[in-house]
Structures are given as structure tokens and as C-alpha cells.
Amino acid sequence: MPAKRNAASPASAPAASTTAPLSSGPATLKTNSSITDIAIHRILLLDAFMAFLVLVGGVQFLYCVVAGNYPFNAFLSGFSAAVGQFVLTASLRMQTSDTGATSSKPSSKGKNARFAEDEQDTGISHERAFADYIFGSLILHFFCINFIN
Amino acid sequence: MAEPSSLDVLLKGSSGRNTRGLLRIVILLTVAAAAVASRLFSVIRFESIIHEFDPWFNFRATKYLVENGFYSFWDWFDDRTWHPLGRVTGGTLYPGLMVTSGVIWHVLRLLTIPVDIRNVCVMLAPGFSGLTALAMYLLTCEMSTSPSAGLLAAAFMGIAPGYISRSVAGSYDNEAIAIFLMVFTFYLWIKAVKNGSIMWGALTALFYGYMVSAWGGYVFITNIIPLHVFVLLCMGRYSSRAYIAYTTWYALGTLGSMQIPFVGFLPIRNSDHMSALGVFGLIQLVAFAEFVRGFLPGKQFQRLLTSMVLLTFGIGFAGLVLLTVSGVVAPWSGRFYSLWDTGYAKIHIPIIASVSEHQPTAWPAFFFDLNFLIWLFPAGVFMCFQSLKDEHVFVIIYAVLSSYFAGVMVRLMLTLTPIVCVAAAMALSAVLDNFLTLGKPTPPSKVNADGSKFFGSGKGPMVGIYSSISKLFVSGTITLYLLIFVAHCTWVTSNAYSSPSVVLASRMPDGSQFIIDDYREAYYWLRQNTPDNAKIMSWWDYGYQIGGMADRPTLVDNNTWNNTHIATVGKAMSSREEVSYPILRQHDVDYVLVVFGGLLGYSGDDLNKFLWMVRIAEGIWPDEVKERDFFTSRGEYRVDEEATPTMRNSLMYKMSYYNYQSLFPAGQAVDRVRGVKLPAEGPQLNTLEEAFTSENWIIRIFKVKDLDNFGRDHSNVVAFDKGLKKKRATKKKGPRVLRTE
């Protein structure tokens, strides 16, 4: 049981740590050369966080398979906290990398350009995306804590 | 009601933006007011009363919530239903409805508006239907660029009988708030897909969670959103917006739905929810593939992708089948099977088939409930194909699915109505826009171009769609349709859907209204004249009403969670007295309640439902109760002279006709529901005695006799008593014939 608690709680801790570089983004956006630098740094950070979440989820799943799923609520909320946070982070990464530094995957629109034309014109700013991310994470963790029993 | 005003907006298309905004608000408010007002027929005609069956339970639960607070409501174990067993009510209901009205009640109290909780419950459905109209406006505005479409859809939704049928004042059922939540969730979902923002996705999930807490029909949303995404993926329309919207919704919404104790682990255990999980996995793969594609340009990639997707799909499907077979994942629920195979329920789960709202829909019902919307509906769906954006795909999927479901089950007409309103409003607004705003010199659209050709060639009188004659004709026709629609809706609402069914109304020969209030009379008798914990046995239809109005424990009620228990009641009703009496004793039954419409011609009585009792009992005890025995040799269901011995000896038959012939001259007793003459000699009851019969004989209550003091058989006792009575009767003739009440 303690293993799970430990596993679930760090999931939210790094979420806070990502705050610092992101919120400092707009302040340093003035110089042109640092834009790509910061964007890459930011994406790397998100990638690391996502990899960590995969690890956390994997460990919990492994524990569930090996040691049984007795407090099923606890397992579920821990696991879905990891999955949900991963998904949210992936969404944040998409939003920020698309509108930001010339989009890391322009080729993704190659074949379906016909449909994808109007795709990215919603233009969600980084701050808005991050605020949404916080909003989603808050709801997610509220549900998880409520569900953990 | 509201149509002429929405036409006004179209006519004033050239006025300023502010005026139009103001008009729009005014129109929406009018629509909401019309939606509320048209649902008040029953309150005006009868009184502020809770209707039908299920609402009585919701009302009782709400009262419990208001009196005892949220936490004891959450942990409520109800020992006054399902008599020996009880029911874990707090964990087996959808609390959304009760909590909503509880919150409204507390807010009103906080504003020092002292209002009875009953009135909150009665008015909840009309209030929320006003909100539904607003949500409908928002949803349709996402679909169509025309500003009139939203207003039309709101007006349609406000007064469409298909929705009114479940949301008149007093119809305090889960659907009352669930339809609003469903429409609003769809609106948020479309918004999320369009914007690709986490916030809209999270809001969708929140309202989805609310919906889950309110109605079992949430499964419809659980399946239609993944299907939408799946179709988008199949169309090659994967986008980061879809990914963001869907994954956010799924991750948060699933967790949110698991907060409801009744739902619990279902979202990961039940096959009904597996499609959502599958699409969640699929979209992760697709997203990953798209991500990888950014680094790996090449043609082999496409092949790799498809093979990977197919492989994963196959593995996932095989895994699901394996898990289902091994029992980890629960198989599809019975109600679900009955959606695909309409004969399924009749064979396997008679209790589901016995509910009238689970029957397949008769085709006139579509026209009855939707009037001219139903033939505008295909046109609207066709228009969605013309500009096939993501949200239009949603409309098409929703339209196809819900038309099928509405055809299978009457009550799912409720889920069809919103999309019909959307599609019809889109079609109608396109027609109106094209015809009413056509007078401009520079024709902006294709239709106008055609019109101008006409205009140029014909130099004499103006012909074609530019002329005011054609405009007048088209708009006049449509106005006529709209007016007929309003008249139809009002008529249907007032005649078909506004009866509380607790209080019945009929017309006297001179046209004056005659109120039949037998139900409340009988329930009130129970409340006043029986001990507080007297157990009442009745067929399950009346369980909630007895619990709510008479406040007495019941054996079975409309919750139908225990089929065996219901079958026990069915067996007691359909067996001989010698078999039934031990069953009644074992279950501590004090009173038996039957509904009998023979005197008045009330067709919804227990003898007409009797075959279902027999069938359900036969499902559990095929050796002791046989449906065949209740039919004559020619296969007829009869209650007169030719009724089979099994039928005539069944407890239900005896209770229904006990003493009935005493109302008529000898040998003239007539059952007005089944239109037959009854045998001259009425049935004899040994183990029960008549306790109460309501004014019009609709409700009859019998008391279960105690064991005889001398240890005799009940039939012997009755024979003995009769012997005595006969002697006495020879002495004083008159008074025995009169029934004293």
C-alpha cells in the first residue's frame, strides 16, 4: 500500500515544478534567439515528465498484477492519476508545440491537408493552454483524492 | 407561441448588431417561458402533485435528503421496501435529481423564500426544460452559421411533445434534468472538439459526471462520443484538437463517473463502457504514430501504421473477449441486448419486456411526438453532409444511432428529440434564409444566382424565387406549418401528456369533468387505518406509490432489482389460495392490494397485467406456474364463464371479482374493461378478507387472515362460518346483501 501512495503523490509534485519555466516564458520571449531555446527546453521538460508518468503508471500496474489489486479504489485512482496527467501533459505539449516554435511535426498534415487546413487556426496562447492544463489537473486530482478512500 | 417572434428576427436581418443581440435574448427568454408554460397544464387542471410511479420514489428520496442531510442520504439503507431484504438505496440510485432539487430548496430558503419541497420537485422538470431550450440554442449555433437556426431549434425543443412527454410539471423523473445535461454535454463536447482546449474538455467531463449522477442513459453519451472520435479517425481526420478533447474528457469523465456509488467500477468492468476505453487506447496510438511520422517520412510508414493499428485492434478485441468469457469484464447488460434484438427481452427477461415504455415504437408515434420536424429531419441531416465538418459528423452519427434506438424502444424517443430539433432547425433556417433575404441586388449564394438568371430573362412579371409571390408563398407555407406545429404540440401536451395518472379525469355525459381519485383515497386509507409497519403486497408497479403516499413497507417496487422476489409475488398472485397463503405468511404480508378497473372500464388494471405476473413467475418456477394454463383450449385469455380453472382459482382473479356480483342484479355482473359477462356466482376467498374498496372499485385492499385459533384449515373455517350464516340469514333476510362501506 505505501508503495502506491508514494507512486501517486509524486505524480502531482512535478506538475508544480513545471510551473516555473513555463510561466517565466513570456518574460524571456523578447529576444529572438532565446525563443527556440526556451521552447526546446520546455518541450524537453514536458517529455521528461511524461516519461516519468509512464514509469509511475507502469510501476503501479505491475504492482497490481504482481501483488494483487486489493484496495482497488486506491490502485484505480493512482493509476488513472498517472494516465490522466500523462494525457493532459501530452495535450499541453501539443498545444504549445503547435502554435509555438514552427510546430515540430508539419509533416503530419501532409496527406490530410484537405481536412486539416482549418485545424490550427484557433490559436490558443501558451498562457491559456497552461491555465487550461492547471484547470484540468485540479479536477483530475480532486476526483482522484475523492476516489482513493 | 415563439415562432412568430423568431421569424421577426429574420425579417429584421439588417438591423444593428445590438438590436439583434437584444432580440435574441428576448426571444430565448420567451422560448424558455413558453417551454415552462406549456408544461403546466397538469398543475392547472389538477393540482401540484407528483405524477406516475417512479417520481414518487424520487420524491420520497428527496424528502429523506432534505430531512436527514446529505451524508445519511448517501448511506441510506431503506428497510421499508423489498420487505425482508431491504434496499441499499443510497448506493443504488442516481442521486443527481434529488441533490439538485435539494440544493434548489436550500438556496430558496437562503433567499428567505419559504417553499415546500414538493413544489420544488413538481416545478423542476419545467424549469429545466427552459434551460434545455437555451442549451439547444447553443448547440445548434455551433452547427450552423445561420443565427436563426439556433432560435428555431430552441423553440422546437421547448415545445416538442417528444420531450414534453417526460417533463411536464410533476413528472419528477431522472429524465427531467438528464435531457438538459445531455444536450449541454454535447454542446460542450462540440466546443471542445472545435477549439481543442483542455478547458472545454474538462467542462464536458464535469457535465458528463453530472449526467452520470442523474440518469442511467449516460451510457448513450459514453458510447456516442467515442464513436464520433472513432469515425473521425477512420475518416483520416485525426487532429490534435480531437486528441485533446477526447483524452481530457475520457480521463476526467471516467474518474468523475466512478464517484457515483451506483456506477462504481462499471466504467472499467462493464462491456457497455469498453468502446470508450478502446477508442482512448486507439487515439493514443494514432497520436503516437502521428508523432513518429514527423521523424520518419516514407511510404512504408503508412503500411506500418495500418498494420500496427489492425494488430492492436485485434489484440484488444481478443483480450476483451477473453476477459468477458473469464468473467473479469461483465458481459453486456440485458437491456443492451434488447436494443439489438427486440425479441430478446421477451424470452429472457420478461420483467424488462413487461414495461410498456420498453416496447418498440409504433410509427405514428414519431409523427405524434415530433409532427413536421420528423420530415424536416432527413433534410437537416442531408445538409450536414454538404459541409462535413467535425461537428456535422457528430450530428450524423447521433441522428443515425438515435433513430434506430427510438424505433426499438418507445422511451428512447427522448434521445431522438434533441437531434431532430437540431436537424429540422438547420433545414428550416436554410430555407427561410434563402427565401426571406433574397431581395439584395448582389446575390451572395448559389440559389440567388439561379434566381437572378430568372430575373434577367423574364422581363414582364417577376417570376422565379426573386418575386415576392414566391417568397410570400414559401414563407406563408412555412408559417402555416409552424402554426400547425404549435397547435399540435399544445393539443398533444394538454390531452396526452398532462395526466398525473394518480388522479384520473373523465367526462360526465353532460360534459363536466369527473375526477377519479381512487388511488389517493386507498393509499390514504392505508396510511390512516393500518399499523405503521404493516406490509403491503402488490404488483411492483404500485410499490413506489405505496411507499410515497401510504408510507407503508412494500414487498416489491419499481426498482425491480430482485427478479426472484418479484416472481415470488407473481407466484402468490397467480397460484391457488392454498399455495399463496404460505407465501404470504412467510413474507409477513398483512395486506394485499390489487387494482381492478372492471367497474369503471379502467384498462390499466392488474388483470390486464396478469399475464406478465404469470410469465415472470414461470421464469423462476416453470413447474408450478404455467402460462398455458391461463389460456382456454382455444388459446384465449378469458375471465368469464369459460375461464380456465387455474385462472378462476388464482388469487388475483378471486381478489378482483370478490363480491363484485353483489353490485349487479343476479347473473348480470359485467366487466367493463374486458367487456364480458361474469359467472353468476362470484369467487370465494378463504384466506383473505376484504378490508377496503375504493369509491370506483379501482383499488381493492384485502387483509391476510391470521391462522385459525382452533388450528382449522381456512376453507373449513369459511365453510363453517357460512353454515352459521346461512342459518342466520334465513332469519333476517335484507341486510346481508347490502355492502357496507
pLDDT at A10: 40
Contact B201, B251 (CB under 8 A): no
Q: B69-75 — which CB contacts under 8 Å span 24+ positions?
A: B70/B99, B70/B102, B73/B98, B74/B261
Is A78 part of a structural domain of the chain? yes
Q: Per the CB < 8 Å rule, is A143 touching B287?
A: no
Question: What average pLDDT does this structure show over B104-112?
Answer: 91
- Cβ of residue A132 closer than 8 Å to a chain B Cβ: yes
Q: Per the CB < 8 Å rule, is B252 touching A136?
A: yes
How many angstroms away from the CA of B78 is the closest CA of chain A? 24
- Cβ of residue B387 closer than 8 Å to a chain A Cβ: no
Q: What is the pLDDT of residues B114-152, one digit of tens each?
A: 888 888 999 999 999 999 999 999 999 888 888 788 899
- Cβ of residue B202 closer than 8 Å to a chain A Cβ: yes
Q: Per the CB < 8 Å rule, is A95 touching B243?
A: no
Is B394 part of a structural domain of the chain? no
Q: Which residues of A touch B268 (CB under 8 A)?
A: 76
In chain B, residues 218-247 whose CB comes closer than 8 Å to chain A:
235-241, 243-244, 247
Cβ-nearest to B248 among A112, A119, A136: A136
Question: What average pLDDT does this structure show over B304-323?
Answer: 78
Both B740 and B602 in a single domain?
A: no
**How confident is the prediction for chain B on average, in pLDDT?**
82
Both B568 and B634 in a single domain?
A: yes
- How many domains does chain B fold into? 3
More confident of the two residues B494 and A22 = B494
Question: What average pLDDT does this structure show over B522-532?
Answer: 89
Both B715 and B699 in a single domain?
A: no
Compute the distance between CA of residue B252 and CA of residue A137 in angstroms, rounded to an integer. 9
Q: How far is CA B318 from the centre of its chain?
A: 35
**Pairing state of beta strands B589-595 and B535-537?**
parallel
Is A115 part of a structural domain of the chain? no
Compute the distance between CA of residue B741 and CA of residue B727 in angstroms, rounded to an integer. 24
Q: Which residues of A touch B265 (CB under 8 A)?
A: 72, 76
pLDDT at B641: 79
Compute the distance between CA of residue B536 and CA of residue B692 in angstroms, rounded to an integer. 13
Both B631 and B721 in a single domain?
A: no
Both B723 and B619 in a single domain?
A: no
Best mutation target among A50, A97, A108 (most B Cβ atoms within 10 Å) is A108
Q: Is B607 helix (H, G, I), strand (E, B) or coil?
A: helix
Q: How confident is the model at residue B111 (pLDDT cuts 50, 70, 90)?
A: very high
Q: Which residues of B touch A107 (CB under 8 A)?
A: 293-294, 297
Q: Which residues of A touch B198 (CB under 8 A)?
A: 88, 91-92, 95, 129, 132-133, 135-136
Question: What average pLDDT does this structure show over B196-208?
Answer: 90
Both B221 and B270 in a single domain?
A: yes
Compute the distance between CA of residue A137 and CA of residue A143 in angstroms, rounded to an integer. 10
Compute the distance between CA of residue B193 and CA of residue B190 in angstroms, rounded to an integer. 5
Domain boundary among B289, B313, B337: B313
Q: Is B341 helix (H, G, I), strand (E, B) or coil?
A: coil
Compute the distance between CA of residue B152 and CA of residue B132 in angstroms, rounded to an integer. 13
Q: Per the CB < 8 Å rule, is B247 touching A91?
A: yes
Contact B624, B571 (CB under 8 A): yes
Is A66 part of a structural domain of the chain? yes
Q: Which residue of A has its CA nearest to B267?
A: A76
Both B688 and B736 in a single domain?
A: no
B683 contacts: CB under 8 Å, gap ≥ 6: B648, B653, B654, B657, B658
Amino acid at B115: V
pLDDT at B698: 87
Domain membership of residue B522 as a residue range: 517-706
Compute the distance between CA of residue B108 and CA of residue B217 in angstroms, rounded to an integer. 29
Q: Which residues of A touch B288 (CB under 8 A)?
A: none
Per residue, the 3-state secondary structure of B107-126, as one string, reads HHHHCCCCCCHHHHHHHHHH
How many angstroms away from the CA of B9 is the closest CA of chain A? 30
Cα end-to-end distance, chain B, whole Å: 50
Place of cell 362501506: B741
Count Cβ–Cβ pairs < 8 Å, chain A vs chain B: 112
Q: How confident is the model at residue B343 (pLDDT cuts 50, 70, 90)?
A: low
CA quadruple B36, B39, B44, B49: dihedral positive or negative?
negative
Is B308 part of a structural domain of the chain? yes
Both B720 and B572 in a single domain?
A: no
Cβ-nearest to B255 among A80, A111, A128: A80
Both B661 and B727 in a single domain?
A: no
Per residue, the 3-state secondary structure of B522-573, as one string, reads HHHHHHHHCCCCCEEECCHHHHHHHHHHHCCCECCCCCCCCHHHHHHHHHHH
Q: Per the CB < 8 Å rule, is A132 touching B294?
A: no
**Pairing state of beta strands B699-704 and B589-595?**
antiparallel
pLDDT value at A48 more than 50:
yes
Least confident stretch, A76-90, B322-336, B382-396, B621-635: B322-336
Is B582 part of a structural domain of the chain? yes
Read off the DSSP letter of residue A24.
T
Compute the distance between CA of residue A138 and CA of residue A141 in angstroms, rounded to an integer. 5
pLDDT value at B187 more than 90:
yes
Q: What count of other Cβ atoms lies within 10 Å of the Cβ of residue B362?
A: 10
Both B689 and B569 in a single domain?
A: yes
Best mutation target among B188, B190, B198, B328 (most A Cβ atoms within 10 Å) is B198
Closest-CA residue to B85 (of B563, B579, B581): B563
Is B530 part of a structural domain of the chain? yes
pLDDT value at A121 more than 80:
no
Residue B209 CB burial class (10 angstroms; 0-12, 13-18, ≥19): buried
Is B510 part of a structural domain of the chain? no
Q: Which residues of A touch B235 (CB under 8 A)?
A: 115
Q: Which residues of B touch A133 (CB under 8 A)?
A: 198
Can you tell me the ipTM of this complex? 0.75
pLDDT value at A24 more than 50:
no
Phi-psi region of B315 (alpha: psi -120 to 50; beta: other; left: phi over 0): alpha
Q: Which residues of B touch A90 (CB under 8 A)?
A: 243, 247, 287
How many angstroms away from the CA of A124 is the closest CA of chain B? 8
Cβ-nearest to A132 among B198, B250, B256: B198
- How many domains does chain A fold into? 1
Q: Which residue of A has its CA nearest to B193?
A: A119
Is A70 part of a structural domain of the chain? yes
Q: Which residues of B touch A94 (CB under 8 A)?
A: 240, 243-244
Q: Per the CB < 8 Å rule, is B244 touching A115?
A: no
Both B592 and B683 in a single domain?
A: yes
Contact B195, A122 (CB under 8 A): yes
Q: Which residues of A touch B239 (CB under 8 A)?
A: 115-116, 119
C-alpha separations of B109 from B66, B413, B485 in Å:
12, 36, 39
Both B695 and B570 in a single domain?
A: yes
Q: What is the pLDDT of residues B203-239, one digit of tens each?
A: 999 999 999 999 888 888 998 999 999 888 888 888 8
Q: How confident is the model at residue B725 (pLDDT cuts 50, 70, 90)?
A: low
How many angstroms away from the CA of B262 is the closest CA of chain A? 14
Is B397 part of a structural domain of the chain? no
In chain B, residues 406-465 whose CB comes closer than 8 Å to chain A:
none
B514 contacts: CB under 8 Å, gap ≥ 6: B505, B506, B507, B508
Contact B248, B301 (CB under 8 A): no
Q: Per the CB < 8 Å rule, is A91 touching B248?
A: yes
Amino acid at A35: I
Cα end-to-end distance, chain A, whole Å: 13
Contact B678, B663 (CB under 8 A): no
Least confident stretch, A45-49, A116-120, B180-184: A116-120
Q: How confident is the model at residue B474 (pLDDT cuts 50, 70, 90)?
A: confident
Domain membership of residue A132 as a residue range: 1-8+34-102+122-149
B58 contacts: CB under 8 Å, gap ≥ 6: B97, B98, B121, B172, B173, B174
pLDDT value at B15 more than 80:
no
pLDDT value at A1 more than 50:
no
- Cβ of residue A123 closer than 8 Å to a chain B Cβ: no
Q: What is the pLDDT of residues A58-116, one digit of tens each?
A: 998 888 888 877 788 888 888 888 999 998 998 888 887 754 433 333 333 333 433 33
pLDDT at B182: 93
Compute the distance between CA of residue B491 and CA of residue B391 in angstroms, rounded to an integer. 34
Contact B61, B74 (CB under 8 A): no
